[in-house]
Amino acid sequence: MNLQETFGSLVFNDAVMRQRLPKETYQVLHRTIAEGRTLNAEVASVVANTMKDWAMEKGATHFTHWFQPMTGVTAEKHDSFLSPIEGGGAIMEFSGKELVRGESDASSFPSGGLRSTFEARGYTAWDPTSFAFIKGDTLCIPTAFCGYGGQALDKKTPLLRSMQALNHHAKRILRLLGHHEVKKVTATVGPEQEYFLIDRELYDQRKDLICTGRTLLGARPPKGQELDDHYFGNLKPRVAAFMREVDEELWKLGVSAKTEHNEAAPCQHELAPIFTTANIATDHNQLTMETMRRVAARHGFACLLHEKPFAGVNGSGKHNNWSMSTDTGMNLLEPGETPAENAQFLLFLVAVIKAVDLHQDLLRISVASAGNDHRLGASEAPPAIISIFLGDELRAILDALEHHRAYVAGEKTEMNIGVKTLPRIPKDTTDRNRTSPLAFTGNKFEFRMPGSAMSISEANVVINTIVADVLSQFADQLEKAVDLRAAVEQIVVDTITRHKRILFNGNNYSDEWKEEAKARGLLNLPSTPDALPYLIHPGNIALFERQKVYTGEELHSRYEIQLENYCKLIAIEGNTMLDMVNQGVIPAVIGYTHKVAQAALAKRALLPDLDLSCEEGLVRRLNELLLGIRDGAKALADSISALHTAADPLARARHCRDHIFRAMENLRALSDQAEMITEESAWPFPGYSKLLATK
Ligand code: ADP
Ligand code: MG
């Protein structure tokens, strides 16, 4: 395979456009994209035609507006290029109108009451900053999805809006600092994707994996994952073949992916792309998840993207690496070489610190889902408490700045940090703290809370918006300043002083941190129903409206959709578990008890004086568990039935968490105990040892 020819070969990217479009059209399009303006109809029609010809050469027969409704997965509505002509026959057509705007019956996608039924249609609009691409026989056009009133019904629209806000306010700051040459600031994102691969054949035997993506039942294997490390150290040929194919498919789509083996848990792996613009990274991450699922099936695997497929085994996350960069090639979170560069770096750094401290609630909400609640707060994942890791060295520099002290680092020369000069920031030399939910890693922030199954859109909407808002405050202050240098320093020092409580370099998993975080007044929102109500707090509505990212109406709709999604998911899990218990576990326990009892009777018939206490004990214990399981299943069924009695979406979500979820945990514990004393072949579905032994 020739990587150079392969990479992006299925993408209608800039190179293709430059080569194929009339020069003038290309220039107009390019300018439109660069400046984020709307495309005019004439240009659109030329682009559409060229795009169609290109796609048909690559074997495409259909096109679709590819969009990301609030379900969190991508949606497509396929149309063919074929247009019938008068007198029979057909021509291949694809107009500018079809390129830039599509109609879509939006009524089947969640809208949280945003669309009344008489205007159930929404429209999709091409986002020309994301390139069109070919998947199979279909030309996919990345689009935003809106209601007729312009309300965002998807995950792309707010992301684009938040990028605009960040661009606007970051540029204000840069202009003040003398960078008049900068035309655009973009949020850059590189999401690292974790996932599990297990045997398809075993997956197909488990209703829980099929319906919910995670195991709802299953006793932990006797061998811990630590012991498996060496065993799983080498990449299995089948896994290697899968990875090669995923890489190749993604390269064709212009996703610069590099799959890697990950040793955290058996069967767990990671894929890291090279970072790009936030909205493209978000599209690419969706494509990555789709591709991994599809390719897995071809290799006899099931790809599990759930945040916690197995209890007691490491969960999966998505590390969202984030920074800001200019069209002139500056990374705004890159420590500089000169004091002036460092002043700029420190200003943007403390903007993030302040934003995170002020908006812990929004960051927590951006990663809230029923699936991710299994991770956050559990001892192997980032906790639900937000804090920032800066590394010892940078922390010490901020400390010195705050107290107007000189910064002395080991053998390094003393830095002069009088009021006029800011210190040089050394390259990050500290060990990275793997327990931190948000770590500064040299020239970017790594947000480790997003779940493996979720879109990274929300997390980046929030980061972009809160940083933009703080930058706007800084810009307001600086625009009025007489002595800019002194004003910058004042802001840096003030911000550190006021917001340093959010900085924490220690172990985030410890109980002491929970205590300390509480003493510092940091938020701890362990579950989705704890977090979501903050979304519609007046302060947050004002923030999003101020930055033109969400209207109050859109926020309310999102609040309801997220609560509904949470409830739906837990109810599905509860019902799936009931099926498995009633149709699988209970019959299996009865069957196996019968087998043991029969064996005991046979022994007694043969030799009446034999000690049968083993069989008797087993029958007794299994029967106890059987009764417990029956009661547990009844309690679970009751709690699911009671769901509709809750008054509003929040009450329903709380009911799910406090009653349905609890009942599931209780039932699972009993079933798992029964599994551990039941003959393996008598158990109705493959257990953890088998699932995690996938090769
Ligand atoms: P690791 O975390 O394994 O040490 P790296 O730090 O090299 O690996 O990169 C992790 C991820 O961060 C990659 O996806 C990379 O592309 C991304 N990344 C690197 N620089 C930036 C940046 N300026 N903005 C956003 N993401 C970035
Ligand atoms: Mg990483």
Nearest to 137 by CA among 97, 78, 94: 78
The model scores a pTM over 0.85: yes
Instruction: Choose which residue among 321, 324, 331 to substitute to test ligand 1 binding: the one with the highest number of ligand atoms within 8 A of its C-beta.
Output: 321
221 lines ligand 1 (CB under 6 A): no
Note the maximum CA span of the chain: 103
pLDDT averaged over the chain?
89
Where helices occur in 547-612 by DSSP H, the ranges are: 552-580, 586-606
Measure the CA dihedral 269/275/277/282, to 10°. Answer: 0
Q: 3-154 in CATH: which number?
A: 3.10.20.70
465, 165 Cβ separation under 8 angstroms: yes
Q: Do the beta carbons of residue 151 and residue 114 sit within 8 Å?
A: yes
What pLDDT, on a 0 to 100 scale, did the predictor assign at position 106?
60
Would residue 418 be called left, alpha or beta, if left means φ above 0 and alpha means ψ between -120 and 50 degrees? Answer: beta
Rounded distance from Cα 192 to ligand 2 centre (Å): 7
pLDDT-based confidence at residue 147 (cuts at 50, 70, 90):
confident
| Cβ 167 under 6 angstroms from ligand 1 | no
**Are 3-154 and 565-691 the same fold in CATH?**
no
Query: CB-hemisphere CA count at 13 Å for 354?
Result: 23
Map residue 301 onto helix, strand or coil: strand
The encoded tokens of residue 437 equal 């939910």
**CB of residue 188 inside a 6 A radius of ligand 1:** yes
477 lines ligand 1 (CB under 6 A): no
Give the number of the ligand closest to the Cα of residue 428.
1
State which fold the 565-691 domain adopts: Four Helix Bundle (Hemerythrin (Met), subunit A) (1.20.120)
User: How confident is the model at residue 222, as a pLDDT?
Assistant: 67
pLDDT single digits (tens) 211-241:
999 999 999 876 555 545 434 456 788 999 9
Residue 120 has pLDDT above 80, yes or no: no
Residue nearest to atom 19 of ligand 1 (CA): 275
Q: Where are the domains of the chain?
A: 3-154, 162-215+314-550, 565-691
Task: Report how far ligand 2's centroid is from the alpha carbon of 190 (Å).
Answer: 9
Residue 247 and residue 259 in contact, taking contact as beta carbons nearer than 8 Å: yes
* pLDDT for the residue 417: 35
C-beta of 276 in contact with ligand 1 (< 6 A): no
> What is the CA angle 167-170-172, rounded to 5?
105
Which one of 444, 456, 467 would you pick to mutate in the ligand 1 pocket, going by the greatest count of ligand atoms within 8 A of its CB? 444
CA of 270 to the centre of ligand 2 (A): 10
* Two tokens, residue 139: 């030309």
Q: What is the pLDDT of residues 331-342, one digit of tens each?
A: 999 988 777 778
Q: What is the pLDDT of residue 227?
A: 47
Atom of ligand 1 nearest to the CA of 443: 23
Mean pLDDT of 500-508: 93
pLDDT-above-70 percentage for the chain:
89
Q: Is 326 in the pocket of ligand 1 (CB under 6 A)?
A: no
Which ligand has the minimum distance to the alpha carbon of residue 448? 2
Count Cβ atoms within 10 A of the Cβ of residue 480 and give its class: 0-12 exposed, 13-18 middle, 19 or more buried.
exposed
CB 190 less than 6 A from any atom of ligand 1 = yes
Stated length of the chain: 695
Residue in the structure block whose two tokens are 């009133």: 149
